[in-house]
Structure 1
């Protein structure tokens, strides 16, 4: 069974980005997370990560739609 909450390092591995990138995403509010424990350790709920990924797919699709690839002019 997969854990409900992920460490930021787990999220970084899942997204194939650096730990510092995930920390910035969390601190900026881009990726929802919670702070727990006396040391205030960050955790990301797996369902929130999946929602974030889905949102990024939709955001990217909109960008691609609004910025069509044009062919190079013949040289």
Structure 2
């Protein structure tokens, strides 16, 4: 069975970003997350991470279309 929730460490490893960048994604709301347990550790639902990745792909495609149109 696949895990429903990922630690922030799992997320930053998957995205190959720094922990500071991971915290920034959560704090800005770009990547929805919840805090659980007495230590209030961050958890990201696997489906939310996949949705974030899909949004970033869409954003990249739009950026590339825009730069291609500007080039000629």
TM-score by length of 2: 0.90
SS of the residue 2:35 aligns to: strand
Unaligned regions of 5+ residues in structure 2, if any?
none
Alignment match, 2:67: 67
Query: C-alpha distance in 2, partners of 1:41/1:30?
Result: 18
Tell me the distance in 2 between the aligned counterparts of 1:47 and 1:17.
19
Question: Counterpart of 1:5?
Answer: 5
| Match of residue 53 from structure 2 | 53
Segments of structure 1 that go 5 or more residues without pairing to the other structure are: 71-75
Structure 1 stretches of 4+ moved >2 Å: none
Over aligned residue pairs, what C-alpha RMSD do you find? 1.5
Offset, 1:49: 0.3
How many Å apart are 1:40 and its aligned residue? 1.0
Question: Is the deviation greater in 30-39 or in 61-70?
Answer: 61-70
Residues matched between the structures, number: 71
How far the C-alpha of 1:37 sits from its partner, in A, is: 1.2
Structure of larger gyration radius: 1
Matches within 5 A, 1:20-35: 20-35=20-35
